[in-house]
Amino acid sequence: MTDYPAQDLYQIGSVTALTGIAAERLRAWERRYGFTPAEKKGKIRLYSHEQVKNLNKIKQLIDRGQSVSSVIQLNSGQLDQRLNQIEPTHTAAPRLGRPANLALIGAGLLQLEQLSTVSETLNVIGRWANVEAFLSDPSLPAVDVIALQLPVLLPQLIAQVRDRHPSAGLLPIYQFASADQVRQCEESNLNAQRWPLPWRNIEQQCLNLFGLPNLHGASATRLFSDEELIAIAVADDGTHKASQQVVEQIHQLNALNSFLNVCSDEALSSGSSTYAQALRHAASDIGQGRAVAESALQTLMQQQQQDPVRGVNPLQSRDLEGAHPEPQRPQH
What is the domain partition of the chain in residue ranges? 1-87, 100-216, 217-320
Highest mean pLDDT among 176-180, 261-265, 312-316: 176-180
Residue 315: closest CA among 326, 303, 325, 301: 301
pTM: 0.43
pLDDT per residue as tens digits for the range 11-30:
888 888 788 787 878 888 89
Q: What average pLDDT does the chain have?
A: 80
The CATH number for 1-87, chosen from 2.40.50.140, 3.40.50.150, 1.10.20.10, 1.10.1660.10, is 1.10.1660.10
What span, in angstroms and rounded, lies between the C-alpha atoms of 277 and 289? Answer: 19
Q: How many beta carbons lie within 10 A of that of residue 292, not counting itself?
A: 17
pLDDT per residue as tens digits for the range 182-216:
999 888 889 899 999 999 889 888 887 887 555 55
What span, in angstroms and rounded, lies between the C-alpha atoms of 270 and 164? Answer: 48
**Strands 9-11, 100-105: parallel, antiparallel or unpaired by DSSP?**
unpaired
Q: Which of 29-33, 94-98, 262-266 has the lowest mean pLDDT?
A: 94-98
Kindly tell me if the per-residue pLDDT of 269 is higher than 70. Answer: no
Contact status, residue 232 vs residue 314, Cβ threshold 8 Å: yes
CA 64, 68, 71: angle at the middle one, nearest 5? 80
What span, in angstroms and rounded, lies between the C-alpha atoms of 146 and 130? Answer: 13
Q: Residue 180's pLDDT is what?
A: 93
Q: Where are the alpha helices (H) located in 211-331, listed in sequence order? A: 212-216, 226-235, 242-269, 273-306
Q: Where are the alpha helices (H) located in the chain, listed in sequence order? A: 12-19, 23-33, 49-63, 68-71, 76-85, 107-114, 131-135, 155-164, 179-187, 199-210, 212-216, 226-235, 242-269, 273-306
The residues pairing with 176 across neighbouring beta strands, listed in sequence order, are: 152
Strands in 9-11's sheet, in edge-to-edge order, are 9-11, 44-48, 39-41
Which phi-psi region, left, alpha or beta, contains residue 292 (left: φ > 0; alpha: ψ -120 to 50)? alpha
Kindly tell me if the per-residue pLDDT of 69 is higher than 90. Answer: no
Contact status, residue 262 vs residue 286, Cβ threshold 8 Å: no
Kindly tell me if the per-residue pLDDT of 284 is higher than 70. Answer: yes
Domains 1-87 and 100-216 share a fold: no
What span, in angstroms and rounded, lies between the C-alpha atoms of 43 and 60? Answer: 28
What span, in angstroms and rounded, lies between the C-alpha atoms of 45 and 36? Answer: 9
Contact status, residue 142 vs residue 101, Cβ threshold 8 Å: yes
What span, in angstroms and rounded, lies between the C-alpha atoms of 126 and 252? Answer: 40
The CATH H-level (homologous superfamily) assignment of domain 100-216 is Response regulator (3.40.50.2300)
Bond before 327 cis per omega within 30 degrees: no
Residue 153: closest CA among 187, 126, 123, 179: 179
Contact status, residue 50 vs residue 35, Cβ threshold 8 Å: no
Q: Residue 306's pLDDT is what?
A: 56
Kindly tell me if the per-residue pLDDT of 129 is higher than 90. Answer: yes
What span, in angstroms and rounded, lies between the C-alpha atoms of 256 and 250? Answer: 10
